[in-house]
Structure 1
Amino acid sequence: MKQNGAHASIKVKGRNIDLDEALPSKVQEGLMHVAGSHFGSLNHATVGFGRDGHSYSCTINLQVGTLKMMIAEAVAGDCDQAFDQALGKIGRQLHRRRQRMEDRFKDQASVSATA
């Protein structure tokens, strides 16, 4: 897995809550794994946590390669669950984006091969 810089600019922020020490490292490992498994490089990411009544929200803003910024949000009973759900959404977005790119390249290759 390729990394840009030492830890590819991942910012973790908490709004109206204190984040424990384990959560930022979990966020960093999770984002690097998901981005690396689909595109190999992570340009930058911002992860925000907030508390809304009895639930916690997580918002992930992520950019890989030259793709547009991707955003995923989730609400759950604790910060870890909210992050896991938002990370799953980002993973699905990356997977779909990669599939579309591969399909486009296959279509272009078949068109140029028949021409």
Structure 2
Amino acid sequence: MATINVTDEGFQKDVLDSDKPVLVDFWAEWCGPCKMIAPALEELSEELADKVTIAKMDIMENTGVPGKMGVQSIPYLVLFKNGEPAAQMRGAAPKGQLKQWLEGEL
């Protein structure tokens, strides 16, 4: 499954009410490091599709959820399990490091 786009309006249903873990990538179009990790997240969304949903939230188009969560720098990855933040990673990392971190948290 490819990454999904999530909005302030759909956050409750798509992330918090999900029956499996959801990794949310808070990003913006102008963010170079965000663009660097995007292909790795797409690949991981396919490789780990049975374990986790990977979602992207554009912080410029959706300000409510990032504001409530105190997102101050991007990329900012938050893994939600059972509707609660379970792990987080700030900044960009190579695909191997992202996968290792994510699998360790699942």
TM-score norm. by structure 1 comes to: 0.37
Greater relative contact order (Cα 8 A, min sep 6): structure 1 or 2? 2
In proportion to residue count, which structure has more helix?
Answer: 1
